[in-house]
Structure 1
Amino acid sequence: MVKKLVYQVIKYYCRFLIRFFFGKVEIIGREKIPNDQPVIYSSNHQNAFMDALIIGGLSPKTTYSVTRSDVFKKKFEWFMDAIKMIPIYRIRDGFSQLAKNQETFRKINRYLSQRNALTIFSEGNHGNDFFLRNLSKGSARIALEAQEKMDHLDLQIIPVGLNYFHHQRPLHKILIVYGKPIYVKDFLSLYMEQKAKGVNQLRETIDQGMRNCLLIPTEGPTYQVQRDFVNRYNESRSFEQLREGIVSGVGLKPLGKPNKFLNGLGKCLSIFNFGPLWLLHSILSEVKDVVFYGSMKWALAMFVFPVWFLLVLGVSSLLVDIHGGLIIVLISIIMLYLRQYLIKWSNIPH
C-alpha cells in the first residue's frame, strides 16, 4: 500500500514538474497508446534516469522500467521497487548474475499480463546523441517471449522519441513523439519457427519506428551541422518542419555564437539561490558522465529546490513576517527562472 502511494505521488509529481523544468513541452501521438492492452515503450536514451521518469510520468498506465542492475543498491532497493524499476543483469555484472534475469523476465510477463506498460531503452546504453544508436536484441526478445506466454492479449510496442533541444540545460524545449504501434503477434509465427529470425525482424521494425520519431534519425556526414539546428530559435517549428529543415538546411536558424555577457549575467543571479546551485555544482564536479548532468538538475528541481524555498520562507518569516517571506520566495523563483533564461539565450552549444 505504501509503495503504491509512493509510486502515484512520484508519477504525478513528475508529470507536474515536466511543465516547469522545460521551457516548452510538445507531445505528439499519445492517443496511440491503447487503454485495454499491454504496452512496451521502446525509447531512445539521450539522458539518464530522467528519461524513465518522463515516460512514466506521462504514461496513462502503470509503467515499469527496465533498469541496469548496478543502480539497485541495498539502501535504495525499496524505493526502486516502489517506483516500478526492474533490474536487468548484463555480462559486465558477472556471469553468475545473469541467472537472475529469469526472475526479471517472470516479473515482466506478469506485469504485462495485467495490461500494464513497460519502458525499455532499446539502445542498451545512454548518450547525448540526437541520432539513434544501434539497437540491442533485448526489447524484441522480451516482447516476443511475453507475447508467447499471453496469447489472449495483444501486446503492442510503441516507439518513443525523446527529442531534447538541449540535453543539459533546463527551460529548453522537449519534443516527445509516440510512433505507430507495432503488433508483436505479427512476428510470433516466424519467432516460433526460427527464433533468431523473428527477433531480428522485430528489432528492425522497432528500429525504423523509433527513427521515425526522432528529429535526427541517423548519424550522417553532416550530423554536426544538423545538430546545430536543434536550438531555441527553432522551438516553434513543427516536428515535420524540423525534420525537413534539418536535412535541407532551409527554413531553420543555426544556433550562432555564444553570448558570454548573457551567460555571465545569468550566473551572477545564482546568488539568489546559492544553496541548491552550490550543491549542484559540487555534485556535478564529481560526476564524470556528462549524460547525468541533465538528470541531476532534474533531481535537484524535484527534491532540493522545494526544501530550499521552504527554508527561505521560514527564515524570512522569522526575520520579517509571512508576507515578506512569501515575497522573498517569489523573488527567488523569478530570479531562478531569469537566470536559466539568460543562460539559454546566451546560446550555450550542445
Structure 2
Amino acid sequence: MVYFIVKHICKLAIKTFYGKISFRNRKKIPKDVPLLLLANHTNAFMDSLVLAVFMARKMKSLPKGIVFLGASKIKIWFFSQIGMIPIFRAIEGNEHLHRNEETFQNCFQVLKKKGCVQVFPEAICIPERRMKSAKKGTARIALGAEEAHEYALNTQVLFVGMNYEKAWSFKSKLFLNYSRPYDISSFCKLHQENKVSGLNALTKFIDIKIRPHVIHIDDKEDDDIVGQVEQIYKPQLFKDYRLKSENASHNFLLSREIANGINYLRMERPEQLLELRNKCIAYFDKLNVNKIEDTYIFKRPNISYLLGKFLFLSLGFPLHIYGLVNNYIPAKISKTIADKVVKKTDFYSSVTMLAGICSFMVFYLLNFSIVVFFSESLAVSLIYGATLILSGNFSTAYLSKLKAFKSMLRYWKFDKGEHVELKELIHERSSLVEMLNNLKQVYRLRHQKNITKNI
C-alpha cells in the first residue's frame, strides 16, 4: 500500500517537473519472470523514481547503503516499504562492504519470487552524456541468484537508456529507451563451468548492450561541440531523412549518431574536429553577443507567426497571473531549498522535486481550505482545486513562450539594423552545414551505415 501511494504521488510530481516524457519499447517489459532492469545513472535518486513510476511491476532498487546508516527504525521500515535494498560501495569506505552479502541474498529472494530488481551497472552517478564501464556487481546478482536456485530461475535482463535533455532543468524533456528482454542462459552455462569467466562474460555483455540506448560522448571536452552540432545540423538531418522533430525516437537517433560522429572524428580525424570546433565557437560567440538564437538564422520567423505569439500572450496573460498567484510561492520554496541544500548537480532535480511535493501539497491544501471556508460551496471549491496544477502548467508554458517571443523581437531588431552581420551569420551557418555534410559522408562510408535503419 505504501509503495503504491508513494509511486502515484511521485508519478504526478515527475510528470509536472519534466515537460515531456517519451518512451520506446516500454511494452516489451516482461511480466511474471525474474527481471533485472539495467539503466545508465546520471540523475541521483531521480533515476530510480522515474523507472519505478512508469513501470507496472513493483520494483526493488539498490540505493547507497550510507542512507541506511544511523537511520531510525521508522525510516528503515519506510525504505523497505518502497522497495529499497541498501548497497555499499568501496568508494564510500570498506568497513561496510561485508553487508553486501545480505544485499545479494535479498536480491536472490526477489528474483526467486519472479520479482524485478533495478540496478545501475556503472555503480556510480555521473551527470554527463557518457557511460562508465559496467562493474561486476550486476552479473554477481544475476548469476548468483541462478546458482542459488540450480540455474532454473530463467532470469532476464532488460536495458533502459535514460536520456535527459537537461536532467536538472524544470520542464525539460526525458526519453526512456527500452531494449527487448535478454535471457542469460548461455552465461549460466559458462558460469557453471568457470565462475570468473561467466561473470566477466556477462559483465561485458551488459556493457555492450546498454550503450546503444544512450547518447555516449567519449571525451568530456566534446560535450559542447556535440550540443552545438545538434542545434545546427539536426534540422537538416530531419529534412534529409524525412524524420519528425517532434518524435522522441527520431530525436534520440540523430543525437546518438551525431555523438558517434564526433567520437569518430576525435579518434580518426582530430584536425577536422578542431577545425569544426573553432568554426562552431566563432559562430555561437556571434550569436551570444547579439543575443539571438540559431533557430532564427536557419528559419526566419515571419510576421504572422510573430503576431500569433503576441495574440496568445495577450489573451493568456490573465490565466498566467492566476497560475502565478497559485503556484509561485511553493515553486520558489522548492527552488530555494534545492539551491541551498544541493552541492552536486546530479541531486538538483531530485531535491527540487521532493521539496516541491511537500511545499505544493501544503500550499494547495491551505488554499483549498481557505476557498472552502469562504465560498461555502463544494462545487466551487472542487473546480478551484482542479485548476491548481493546470494553471501552474499553463503559467510555465506562458513564460516559455514569452521568452521565445522576446528572442524573436531581438532577431527582428537585429535583422533591420545589421544586415551585413546577419548575412555573415547566414554564410557562416551555411558553411558549417556544408562542412557537416562532407563529414557525414566520410563517417557513413567509413562505417557503411544508414542512420535511419534502426528507426
Give TM-score, length-normalised by structure 2. 0.65
2:33 paired residue number:
37
Tell me which protein shows more helix as a share of its residues: 2
| CA spacing shift, 1:227–1:188, aligned 2, 3 Å | farther
| CA spacing shift, 1:277–1:308, aligned 2, 3 Å | same
Which of residues 248, 256, 264 is equivalent to 1:243?
256
User: Using the alignment, how far apart are the partners of 1:313 and 1:105 within structure 2?
Assistant: 47
1:286 aligned partner, one-letter code: V
1:65 paired residue number:
61
Establish whether residue 184 from structure 1 lines up as the match of residue 240 from structure 2. no
1:193 paired residue number:
193
1:318 paired residue number:
373
User: Using the alignment, how far apart are the partners of 2:231 and 2:46 within structure 1?
Assistant: 20
Give the stretch that moved more between structures: 231-240 or 35-44: 231-240
Which ranges in structure 1 are unaligned for 5 or more consecutive residues? none
SS at match of 1:177: strand
Establish whether residue 48 from structure 1 lines up as the match of residue 104 from structure 2. no
Q: Deviations over 1:231-285 (max 9, x none)?
A: 9995545233443355569xxxx9x86789x9xx999x86643432332233221
Establish whether residue 20 from structure 1 lines up as the match of residue 16 from structure 2. yes
Tell me which protein shows more strand as a share of its residues: 1
Give the stretch that moved more between structures: 109-118 or 119-128: 119-128
1:210 aligned partner, one-letter code: I
2:393 aligned partner, one-letter code: Y
User: Using the alignment, how far apart are the partners of 1:46 and 1:131 within structure 2?
Assistant: 9
2:222 aligned partner, one-letter code: T
Aligned partners of 2:331 and 2:356 also within 8 Å: no
Aligned partners of 1:173 and 1:235 also within 8 Å: no
Which ranges in structure 2 are unaligned for 5 or more consecutive residues? 236-244, 263-283, 294-312, 405-455
2:205 paired residue number:
205
User: Using the alignment, how far apart are the partners of 1:34 and 1:165 within structure 2?
Assistant: 28
Establish whether residue 290 from structure 1 lines up as the match of residue 303 from structure 2. no
User: Using the alignment, how far apart are the partners of 2:292 and 2:79 within structure 1?
Assistant: 41
Q: Deviations over 1:64-121 (max 9, x none)?
A: 0011111122252111110010001223554342222121111110011000100011
Shift of 1:291: 0.9
Which of residues 325, 335, 347 is equivalent to 1:281?
335
Shift of 1:23: 1.9
User: Using the alignment, how far apart are the partners of 1:344 and 1:189 within structure 2?
Assistant: 55
Shift of 1:164: 0.9
1:337 aligned partner, one-letter code: N
1:341 paired residue number:
397
| CA spacing shift, 1:123–1:341, aligned 2, 3 Å | farther
1:99 paired residue number:
98
Shift of 1:221: 5.6
User: Using the alignment, how far apart are the partners of 1:71 and 1:198 within structure 2?
Assistant: 32
Q: Deviations over 1:137-169 (max 9, x none)?
A: 211221111122232221111111111111112
User: Using the alignment, how far apart are the partners of 1:211 and 1:343 within structure 2?
Assistant: 36
| CA spacing shift, 1:201–1:340, aligned 2, 3 Å | farther
Report which of the two structures shows the higher radius of gyration computed on alpha carbons: 2
| CA spacing shift, 1:39–1:128, aligned 2, 3 Å | same
| CA spacing shift, 1:125–1:343, aligned 2, 3 Å | farther
2:444 paired residue number:
none
Shift of 1:128: 1.5
| CA spacing shift, 1:259–1:172, aligned 2, 3 Å | farther
User: Using the alignment, how far apart are the partners of 2:387 and 2:214 within structure 1?
Assistant: 38
Establish whether residue 135 from structure 1 lines up as the match of residue 134 from structure 2. yes
| CA spacing shift, 1:331–1:61, aligned 2, 3 Å | closer
Aligned partners of 2:41 and 2:47 also within 8 Å: yes
Aligned partners of 2:158 and 2:181 also within 8 Å: yes
Q: Deviations over 1:33-63 (max 9, x none)?
A: 2213110011111112111111112223221
1:157 aligned partner, one-letter code: V
Establish whether residue 170 from structure 1 lines up as the match of residue 156 from structure 2. no
Identity rate, percent: 27
Q: How does 1:202-241 map to 2 (within 5 A)?
A: 202-216=202-216, 218-219=218-219, 222-228=222-228, 229=230, 236-237=247-248, 238=250, 239-241=252-254
Aligned partners of 1:172 and 1:344 also within 8 Å: no
2:146 aligned partner, one-letter code: Q
User: Using the alignment, how far apart are the partners of 1:230 and 1:213 within structure 2?
Assistant: 21
SS at match of 2:63: strand
1:8 paired residue number:
4
SS at match of 2:85: strand
SS at match of 1:170: coil
Establish whether residue 299 from structure 1 lines up as the match of residue 371 from structure 2. no
What's the Cα RMSD here? Answer: 3.4
User: Using the alignment, how far apart are the partners of 1:219 and 1:77 within structure 2?
Assistant: 40
Shift of 1:184: 2.1
2:146 paired residue number:
147
Q: Which has the higher contact order (CA 8 A, sep 6+)?
A: 1
2:257 aligned partner, one-letter code: E
